[in-house]
A = this chain, B = another copy of it.
Amino acid sequence: MSSLVIERTLIKDLSPLPDGTVTVAGWVDTVRDQKKVQFVVLRDESGAVQLVRPRTAADVLAANGEVDEIADAISGLSQGSFVTVTGELKHDERVKLGGIEVRIETLVVDGAADPETPIAADSGIDKRMDWRFLDLRVPRNALIFRVQTTFEHAMRSYWVERDYIEVHTPKIMASASESNAELFKVDYFEGSAYLAQSPQFFKQMAQAAGFGKIFEIAPVFRADPSFTSRHATEYTSVDAEISYVDSHEDVMAMQEELLVAAFTAVVEKHGAEIKELFDVDVTVPTTPFPRIPLAEAKRIVAERGYVVPRADADMDPEGERQIAAYVAEEFGHEFVFLTDYDASIRPFYHMRHDDDPQLTKSYDLIYNGTEITTGAQREHRVDVLEAQIREKGMKPEELGGYLDFFRYGAPSHGGFGMGLARVLMLMLHQPNLREVTYLFRGPTRLTP
């Protein structure tokens, strides 16, 4: 397939090979340095294999005036060191680790590790985050990012096959995108700028530009000081926006198709390994996902004995868990769209129902009890937008550049934003975003 000069064989590809010479490379998991034979368990990104080296007896070496350099190198190997080994692949059913082993002929230490490893298997999460590059060597942790890769590529393939345009919206902005809250301020030459909280306005701009259907997977930034398991100051947002929609139903129909494509790819490629390492059966959701108007969801939750303790019309995290439990019991489904949120708890740009202007054409998507998405049809009529901006206590003139997008013609449109790490967290039954983020960023976490 390729002329790449990397001649090593991935450990997962060893088993089907016939006995013979192979080169493997990776890091040292364990060394068993016995009197007559030495064993090394070598790990790479694809798996683990046993390396073996019979010692030449000390009296034989002494008689010949020789030193067994490879034996000495193996004895000196610290856990975590990266090595390249060439040797003889042997299939042997007695070897517990995959029924194969490699008899070491040459061994090169590419990068020796300090023998004092700073984290252990039982280190707490903060300590593990400090040494994230070691934490990510754990196969279970590395698998998360393989799953993420597959999940993202399946989404992008879904979109590209349907002629969506990928956009890269700017993350540095002159002013706030939606509100002045939770914005990070940047020194920008002689002035100031802000980091984008979402690509919302720029996604909508693409609709006015006639792009039709667009997507973006990119970082967003929230100066949110909270320390919950579900929040980060920087995270990867999965965004799509499409024109010529009749309502938020069109957006939901697209998102559920998209998720089916992405979950199918994950189950096919990683289902067995996820089961083995996380003890989770990832399932492909059926369509249509259940849809429940928010007001009805609140009634259902109340009937289950939980009254949402909020002054406004919104749901809360426990209410989301309750409605998810109801949906799991009634429909056997892990997803539920809550729809038609009250206008008072939605941003000004959500379109409202013609026949009930108190309700928006919007939704949240709940997965395994936690919100992963907000979506909506957007209001594209400038006069209605201006009225809704005023109703929210904001000034249309402060959103002039945004309103301009719709002054020169705009199609009906809608879209959603989805937190990538939240999906991974809920898919793999992880307790917080830190476990499923390559390098987590929070109010007190900026390193490594």
Residues of A within 8 A of B (CB): 2-6, 8, 10, 25-28, 43-46, 78, 80-82, 84, 110-114, 117-118, 131-134, 136-137, 142, 145-146, 148-150, 152-153, 156-157, 160, 162-174, 184-189, 193, 195, 202, 205-206, 208-213, 218-219, 221, 223, 225, 233-234, 236, 242-246, 249-250, 253-254, 257, 287, 380-381, 401, 404-412, 420, 437-439, 441, 443, 446-448
List the B side residues contacting A117 at CB < 8 Å: 408
Q: How many copies does the complex hold?
A: 2
Can you report 9 A-B residue pairs in the complex whose CB atoms are below 8 A from each other? A5-B245, A5-B253, A25-B411, A26-B411, A45-B212, A111-B409, A133-B208, A133-B209, A171-B171
Among B3, B169, B246, which residue has its beta carbon within 8 angstroms of that of A253? B3
Among B2, B44, B205, B438, which residue has its beta carbon within 8 angstroms of that of A132? B205
List the B side residues contacting A4 at CB < 8 Å: 250, 253-254, 257
Q: Let me know if A250 and B6 touch, CB within 8 A.
A: yes
Q: Say whether, besides A134-B209, A136-B211, A245 and B6 are in contact (CB < 8 Å).
A: yes
List the B side residues contacting A8 at CB < 8 Å: 244
Q: Let me know if A406 and B443 touch, CB within 8 A.
A: no
List the B side residues contacting A82 at CB < 8 Å: 409-411
Among B27, B211, B287, B446, which residue has its beta carbon within 8 angstroms of that of A173? B446
In the docked arrangement, what's the CA distance between A211 and B202, Å?
Answer: 34
> Can you list the 5 inter-chain pairs with the closest CB atoms, starting with the nearest?
A113-B409, A136-B209, A45-B212, A174-B446, A111-B410
In the docked arrangement, what's the CA distance between A185 and B174, Å?
Answer: 15
List the B side residues contacting A146 at CB < 8 Å: 165
In the docked arrangement, what's the CA distance between A242 and B4, Å?
Answer: 11
Q: Which of A111, A189, A447 has the most CB of B within 10 A?
A: A111
Q: Which of A223, A438, A443 has the most CB of B within 10 A?
A: A438
Q: Let me know if B171 and A234 touch, CB within 8 A.
A: yes
Q: Let me know if A80 and B409 touch, CB within 8 A.
A: yes
Q: Let me know if A168 and B44 touch, CB within 8 A.
A: no
List the B side residues contacting A25 at CB < 8 Å: 243-244, 411
List the B side residues contacting A242 at CB < 8 Å: 6
In the docked arrangement, what's the CA distance between A112 and B212, Å?
Answer: 17
A196 to chain B, nearest CB (A): 10
Q: Which of A44, A82, A407, A420 has the most CB of B within 10 A?
A: A82
List the B side residues contacting A443 at CB < 8 Å: 189
| Chain B, residue nearest A202 (CB) | B439
Q: Let me know if B142 and A166 touch, CB within 8 A.
A: no
List the B side residues contacting A234 at CB < 8 Å: 170-172
Among B84, B401, B412, B441, which residue has its beta carbon within 8 angstroms of that of A447? B401
Q: Say whether, besides A187-B185, A410-B82, A236 and B168 are in contact (CB < 8 Å).
A: yes
Q: Say whether, besides A153-B157, A253-B3, A408-B134, A170 and B112 are in contact (CB < 8 Å).
A: no
Among B164, B213, B257, B439, which residue has its beta carbon within 8 angstroms of that of A170? B439
